[in-house]
Amino acid sequence: MKILVCISHVPDTTSKINFSEGDTKFDTNGVQFVINPNDEFGLTRAMWFKEKQGAEVTVVNVGGPETEPTLRKALAIGADAAIRVNTAASDGFSVAKQLANVFKDGGYDLVIAGRESIDYNGGMVPGMIAGLINANFVNNCINLEVDGTSAKAVREIDGGKETVSTTLPLVIGGQKGLVEESDLRIPNMRGIMMARKKPLSVIEPIEASAETTSVKFEKPAPKGAVKLVSADNLDELVDLLHNEAKVI
């Protein structure tokens, strides 16, 4: 089985976010980038298939040279090879077209992507890939088993879980639960050294125009000042809630 794992290069959630050029561009200065958490769950599940069933795992990213350290980390975790599509990840549809083209050229059986990336939270790329390559699709996937060309997946739905049976080729949008957080892997020294020798191919993009453009970014409004009210002064508390906060 050949598995293609889609890896997004995203800011660490602890990074301080700023914008430049009149709040039209994301300022990457001083920002630490990591593997998108939903993708990391998917990569770990792919490693399980590699170890238990002998699957071949390739990771892929759409982005510039600055994303290669993230791909190298995925190789250090245990992926066999990496592919970088040499173009900016401008919007969901153009990214999906690039990834679908990689799939078609590689003869893959399974595509594992995160249900969404934590930077734009679009949640559209996995489904678009499935549509473009005419493959089955399971989103919000929290468990996956593959037996030959058959697959059984569990996905989260409103108020519960749903188990579905399908066939390969398959695209999943994975999330926490596909593996547990305790199962996530930290590259060890041996993995880091081996990653330097593993192939990281850079391919040029196909023609794929962006369908959306980010016009402007805006930070959430800062939190207001906190007023402390004595526990003995309920009248003042009620007055503030009614006349200032206007919640009662």
Tell me: the pLDDT tens digits for 99-110?
Answer: 999 999 899 999
Confidence at 181, pLDDT banded by 50, 70, 90: very high
pLDDT of residue 209: 84
d(CA 10, CA 120): 9
Asked if 203 and 102 touch (Cβ cutoff 8 Å), the reply is: yes
Per-residue DSSP letter, 241: I
159 Cβ contact list (under 8 Å, min separation 6):
none
Per-residue DSSP letter, 204: P
pLDDT of residue 244: 86
d(CA 122, CA 94): 13
Reply yes or no on whether the pLDDT at 245 is more than 90.
no
pLDDT per residue as tens digits for the range 5-63: 999 999 998 888 899 999 998 899 989 999 999 999 999 999 999 999 999 999 999 99
Predicted TM-score (pTM) of the model is: 0.88
Owner of token pair 């190789």: 75
pLDDT of residue 109: 97
pLDDT per residue as tens digits for the range 80-92: 999 999 999 989 9
176 Cβ contact list (under 8 Å, min separation 6):
37, 38, 41, 142
Domains of the chain by start residue, with CATH: 2-221 (3.40.50.620)
d(CA 86, CA 21): 24
Reply yes or no on whether the pLDDT at 226 is more than 90.
no
pLDDT of residue 213: 85
Least confident of 39-48, 136-145, 157-166, 208-217: 208-217
User: Exposed (0-12), middle (13-18) or buried (19+): which is 64, by Cβ within 10 Å?
Assistant: middle
pLDDT of residue 224: 80
Q: Average per-residue pLDDT in the chain?
A: 94
Closest CA to 132 of 167, 169, 165: 169
